[in-house]
Amino acid sequence: MKTQELFEVLEAHKDKSLLFEYTPNQLVGANYHITEVKHIKVDSVDCGAQTDAWNETIIQLWESPSEIGKTEYMSTYKALGILKKVGSMRAYDSTSEVKFEYSNPLFHTAQLFVNDYEIHGNNLLFKLAIAKTDCKAKETCGVPETMEVVSSEACCEPGGGCC
């Protein structure tokens, strides 16, 4: 989801509570806060020596230990107010991909992209997902699109060739 799309969805649902699903059937706690917004400029070189550049908007979510047990989620209206205030201080690139940075004691810190969103009654639910790493230079590096998976059973038997 692009940053502009995020703002459009939030604007259209200002009257709802804002929830985040960070992995299937697991929600960020109602005690979350928006603690930081990062405007990231990525300037990269891949393994095929090709350069690339893009911008990202990273919104950090943090669960307050002093508010464990809280049941009311932040309103979309309040989140939109926070994000607009940030935008008045540091302009957004409206075409940049938006990600949410999050962790908890059972989930590693990750930057999660918005996979989808749903409306459930009075709730706006953003379904987040992890992007897998990938080789951007498969053709240049000679990496096949599909890799053959070798059974570990045959591999690690005597005479299997891997041990």
pLDDT in tens, 96-153: 999 999 999 999 999 999 999 999 999 999 999 998 888 888 887 777 766 555 554 5
Q: Are the beta carbons of 104 and 63 closer than 8 angstroms? A: yes
Considering only CA atoms, give the Rg of the chain: 20
**In the chain, % of residues over pLDDT 90:** 77
Predicted TM-score (pTM) of the model is: 0.84
The better pLDDT of the pair 133, 66 is held by: 66
- Residue type at 6 in one-letter notation: L
What 3-state class would DSSP assign to 48? Answer: coil
Rounded to whole angstroms, how far apart are CA atoms 65 and 77? 23
Mean pLDDT score of the chain: 90
SS (H, E, C) 81-121: HHHHHHHHHCCCCCCCEEEEEEEECCEEEEEEEEEEEEEEC
